[in-house]
Amino acid sequence: MQPDEALALLKQGSAQIINESELRDKLALGRPLRVKLGVDPTTSDIHLGHTIVLRKLRQFQDLGHQTILIIGDFTGMIGDPSGKNVTRPALSREEIAANAETYREQVDKILDPQATRVRFNSEWLEPLGAEGLVRLSSRYPLARMLEREDFKKRFREGRSIAIHELLYPLLQGYDSVALKADVELGSTDQLFNLLIGRHLMKEYGLEPQVIMTGPILEGLDARAVDGKIVGEKMSKSLDNYVGISEPADQIYGKLMSISDELMWRYYELLSSLPLKALQALRAAVEKGEAHPKDAKSAFAREIAARFCGEDAAEKAAADFDRRFARKEIRAEELPLIEVPLGGETRIFLSQAIARAKLASSSTEARRLIAQGGVKLNQEKVSDPRTQIGPGDYLLQVGKLRAARVRVN
């Protein structure tokens, strides 16, 4: 592929390139570029929001470039403070190592395992030592570090900023120095850190890396307000995410729950459907020539198939249609979950829901019950104080979660 063709491909779906002319020049060098993406394994799951930039890295792979996935086992012990109003709790080496192992398994669903070099940034950050860290810190002024939006906000509001948090962007930036990166990828909320990497490369006499950022994916609960999608970014902690290791029925069901407006945003950022075909589909829906539910189903099947296979995706679609569109539930096909009484003779229904992991907490379960979103043996329950004793029950929580529950 010619440099201009490659550039046009790589620009699709990118939020920002710093800068485009440098990327064009690098693509014209006639050698594989060193393209890096860093991830901190601070959680065990990769969700659809993470896949946007991972798929961009896959594009570089397909173009024949050298791709490096950096597992931030050293920086992960600090945790990127980006967008946080409080200091992150530190993770242990054991937690980081366990999460890193699952990360590698999951990214292989997106990247070509044979073409992906995986490096751990402890390889070059641990040998820095105290002297090296002091010298690194001298390469960037404090005043500019405090210009970072989340630091500036916390400082203005009198919230604590720990010294080690100021080191995180420097350590991430040093990754690019250690690897002599040509290009670094990241999401838009990483831009400050990526720019520091570019700055440090100049400080160390290296050609600065090109920065490419991808958009942030809003969570499942985002909504359209005045024609604009508004909502928190996809996050496991907010329970508004789709994990790429989830079963096909959960991936499909969660994506069928999004609003019609959000569907087009997800199509744009996640689907492999060519742009012209997507524009034609949206026009057909807006003209009433196609139903938005069919468009949403096609998208949900595509994503479920990407991570779980075609057969599993088709089965998930058929099961969803039978269980939710046709209001049919076959109890024998649902999982059986054991819920212990814990020495009590009866427990609150909200506790049973939480212990069965059909809701994130008892508080969330009580809210769903009060809103009429819970059925017990196919009968709606509206009293959050409802209790149940030993026995087998069919529990339906919201539109997407159902299970047989054995309380004993």
User: What CATH number did the domain enclosing 369 receive?
Assistant: 3.10.290.10
Q: Which of 325, 358, 390 marks a domain boundary? A: 325
- Residue 331: band (very low, low, confident or very high) from pLDDT cuts 50, 70, 90: low
Q: Which of 188, 214, 240 marks a domain boundary? A: 214
pLDDT at 42: 72
DSSP 256-319: HTS-HHHHHHHHHHH--S-HHHHHHHHHHHHTTSS-HHHHHHHHHHHHHHHHH-HHHHHHHHHH
Q: 242, 255 in Cβ contact below 8 A?
A: yes
- The answer on 341 and 312 residing in a single domain is no
3-state DSSP call for residue 224? strand
CATH of the domain at 77: 3.40.50.620
Other CB atoms within 10 Å distance of the CB of residue 28: 12
Cα distance between residue 24 and residue 15, in whole Å: 17
- Residue 363: band (very low, low, confident or very high) from pLDDT cuts 50, 70, 90: confident
Residue 41 pLDDT greater than 80, yes or no: no
pLDDT in tens, 84-103: 555 556 677 788 888 878 88
Candidate ranges 76-85, 210-219, 394-403; pick with highest mean pLDDT: 210-219
- Residue 377: band (very low, low, confident or very high) from pLDDT cuts 50, 70, 90: confident
pLDDT at 89: 63
- The answer on 203 and 255 residing in a single domain is no
Residue 106 pLDDT greater than 60, yes or no: yes
- The answer on 227 and 157 residing in a single domain is no
Q: 150, 82 in Cβ contact below 8 A?
A: yes
3-state DSSP call for residue 66? strand
Q: Which of 290, 325, 360 marks a domain boundary? A: 325
- The answer on 308 and 266 residing in a single domain is yes
pLDDT at 164: 85
pLDDT in tens, 218-247: 999 898 888 889 999 998 777 789 999 999
Residue 81 pLDDT greater than 80, yes or no: no
Residue 289 pLDDT greater than 70, yes or no: yes
- The answer on 199 and 79 residing in a single domain is yes
pLDDT in tens, 146-205: 888 888 888 888 888 888 888 999 999 999 999 999 999 999 989 999 999 999 999 999
- The answer on 15 and 121 residing in a single domain is yes
Question: Model-level pTM greater than 0.85?
Answer: no
- The answer on 127 and 96 residing in a single domain is yes
Angle at 241 between CA 236 and CA 247, to 5 degrees: 105
Pull the structure tokens for residue 289. 């020539």
Pull the structure tokens for residue 101. 């192992």
Q: Is the peptide bond before 19 cis (omega within 30 degrees of 0)?
A: yes
Average pLDDT on 362-366 reads 87
- The answer on 130 and 259 residing in a single domain is no
Pull the structure tokens for residue 174. 């040093």
- The answer on 17 and 158 residing in a single domain is yes
Range of 108's domain?
3-214
- The answer on 269 and 227 residing in a single domain is yes
Cα distance between residue 401 and residue 353, in whole Å: 10
Report the domain count for the chain: 3
Beta carbons within 8 Å of 316's beta carbon, 6+ residues apart? 247, 248, 249, 251, 252, 253, 300, 301, 304, 308
Cα distance between residue 126 and residue 80, in whole Å: 18
- The answer on 175 and 272 residing in a single domain is no
CATH of the domain at 228: 1.10.240.10
Average pLDDT on 378-389 reads 90
- The answer on 245 and 128 residing in a single domain is no
Mean pLDDT of the chain: 89
